[in-house]
């Protein structure tokens, strides 16, 4: 089994997109990339936008080789929307390319255990009968020696009004992999129990949402308590997503959790690059041309600009490495 992160916080964007490749099947999970439109009262820095652009390109490359798409919920950092979003390099064509009728898609139930906003977005995917689309929660199936299993709906946060996701297990007979999607810690008993019962060899989880001002002290305490229980019983764990939205994430982890946990990028030996959490510093250190945002809005920033800024900051090599890994399996 090979697990290849494509876009995530440790690769400089808001996302949890990755490929899981076994001898039997190539699976693309949560194929989207996004940026926080405002953080520290600032727009995304051009370096973040460049990371988003190259991540989007990389996801599209991964789409062409994948046979199955797993869509754990309908937040924009996981789900590509069919509308023009300038920081996310998406539009109707990009949406159709990703969720095309050639792919088999296992997606979050669009009617049950879902909040209003996600229900509205889910319709983009479910309104046409042309797609090979299945509700994922609670099902499992086998392709060759690879077993794929989805949990029942588990809460995104302690407040269930924020919606639900499902967790994914992929077992090729040699390695059992579990991806939690957004379970905020996990903060719920249900999400925690699923992980403990499955006993995966490799676990990729989103840590507690401790960066968010509206998350209560109690919720954070529960999330860290559950995380500590999990850490005791699973050997290989990568922490990602919500947890990496603050620049002191490593210190916080050291303080709250017994064991050191690497970020998801480290599964392919890439040191995490945290851009959103460093947005203030980025604006201080890398000058931004006044007209940049109006050029972006007009679609006039060319790809050379993105490649140049990635190269100047020594992170272009990250995606070169990822692409090389993808190209082993594709066209
Ligand atoms: Fe989410
Ligand atoms: Fe998310």
Residue 88 alpha carbon to ligand 1 centre in Å? 16
Ligand closest to the CA atom of residue 156: 1
d(CA 293, CA 232): 47
Statement: residue 245 has pLDDT above 70: yes
Statement: residue 331 has pLDDT above 70: no
Residue 290 alpha carbon to ligand 2 centre in Å? 31
Report the percent of the chain where pLDDT is more than 90. 94
Statement: residue 129 has pLDDT above 90: no
Statement: residue 224 has pLDDT above 90: yes
Ligand closest to the CA atom of residue 155: 1
Residue 144 alpha carbon to ligand 2 centre in Å? 31
pLDDT band with cut points at 50, 70 and 90 for residue 160: confident
Tens digits of residue pLDDT in 287-325? 999 999 999 999 999 999 999 999 999 999 999 999 999
Residue 133 alpha carbon to ligand 1 centre in Å? 20
Average pLDDT, the chain: 96
Ligand closest to the CA atom of residue 163: 1
Residue 51 alpha carbon to ligand 1 centre in Å? 20
Residue 65 alpha carbon to ligand 1 centre in Å? 25
More confidently predicted of 330 and 264: 264
pLDDT band with cut points at 50, 70 and 90 for residue 13: very high
Q: What average pLDDT does the segment 174-196 reach?
A: 97
More confidently predicted of 182 and 212: 182
Ligand closest to the CA atom of residue 36: 2
Q: What average pLDDT does the segment 198-220 reach?
A: 94
Ligand closest to the CA atom of residue 114: 1
What is the predicted pLDDT for the residue at 296? Answer: 97
Q: What average pLDDT does the segment 185-192 reach?
A: 96
CATH numbers and ranges of domains, the chain = 2-327 (3.60.15)
Q: What is the 3-state secondary structure (H, E, C) of the chain?
A: CEEEEEEECCECCECEEEEEECCCCEEEECCCCECCCCECCECCCHHHHHHHHHHHHHHHHHHHHCCEEEECCCCCCCCCCCCCECCCCECHHHHHHHCCCCCEEEECCCCCCCCHHHHHHHHHHHCCCCCEEEECCCCEEEECCEEEEECCCEECCCCHHHCEECCEEEECCCCEEEECCCCCCCCCHHHHHHHHHHCCCEEEEECCCCCCCCCCHHHHHHHHHHHHHHHHHCCEEEEEHHHHCCCCHHHHHHHHCCCCCCEHHHHHCCCCECCHHHHHHHHHHCCCCCCHHHHHHCCCCCHHHHHHHHHHCCCHHHHHHHHHHHHCCCC
Q: What average pLDDT does the segment 58-83 reach?
A: 97
Ligand closest to the CA atom of residue 33: 2
Statement: residue 53 has pLDDT above 90: yes
Tokens of 196: 């403990």
pLDDT band with cut points at 50, 70 and 90 for residue 159: confident
Residue 34 alpha carbon to ligand 2 centre in Å? 10
Residue 224 alpha carbon to ligand 1 centre in Å? 18
What is the predicted pLDDT for the residue at 330? Answer: 81
pLDDT band with cut points at 50, 70 and 90 for residue 128: confident
Residue 98 alpha carbon to ligand 1 centre in Å? 19
């Amino acid at each position: 089994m090979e697990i290849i992160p494509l876009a995530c916080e440790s690769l400089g964007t808001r996302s949890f997109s990755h490929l899981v490749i076994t001898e039997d099947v190539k699976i693309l999970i949560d194929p989207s990339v996004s940026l926080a439109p405002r953080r520290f009262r600032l727009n995304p820095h051009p370096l973040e936008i460049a990371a988003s652009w190259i991540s989007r390109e990389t996801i599209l490359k991964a789409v062409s080789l994948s046979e199955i798409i797993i869509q754990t919920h309908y937040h924009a950092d996981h789900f590509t929307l069919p509308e023009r979003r300038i920081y996310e390099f998406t539009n109707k064509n990009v949406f159709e390319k990703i969720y095309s009728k050639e792919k088999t898609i296992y997606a979050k139930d669009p009617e049950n255990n879902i909040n209003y906003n996600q229900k509205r977005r889910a319709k983009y995917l479910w309104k046409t009968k042309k797609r090979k689309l299945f509700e994922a929660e609670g099902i499992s199936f086998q392709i060759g020696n690879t077993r794929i299993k989805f949990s029942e709906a588990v809460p995104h946060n302690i407040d269930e009004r924020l919606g639900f996701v499902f967790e994914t297990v992929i077992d090729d007979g040699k390695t059992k992999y579990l991806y939690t999607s957004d379970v905020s810690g996990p903060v719920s008993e249900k999400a925690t129990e699923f992980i403990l019962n499955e006993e995966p060899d490799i676990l990729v989880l989103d840590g507690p949402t401790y960066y968010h001002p509206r998350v209560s002290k109690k919720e954070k305490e529960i999330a860290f308590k559950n995380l500590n229980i999990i850490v005791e019983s699973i050997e290989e764990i990568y922490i990602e997503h919500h947890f990496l939205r603050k620049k002191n994430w490593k210190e916080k982890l050291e303080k709250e959790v017994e064991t050191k946990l690497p970020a998801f990028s480290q599964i392919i030996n890439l040191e995490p690059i945290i851009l959103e959490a460093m947005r203030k510093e980025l604006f201080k250190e890398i000058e931004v041309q006044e007209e940049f945002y109006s050029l972006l809005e007009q679609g006039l920033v060319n790809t050379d600009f993105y490649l140049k800024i990635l190269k100047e900051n020594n992170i272009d090599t990250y995606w070169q490495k990822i692409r090389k890994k993808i190209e082993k399996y594709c066209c």
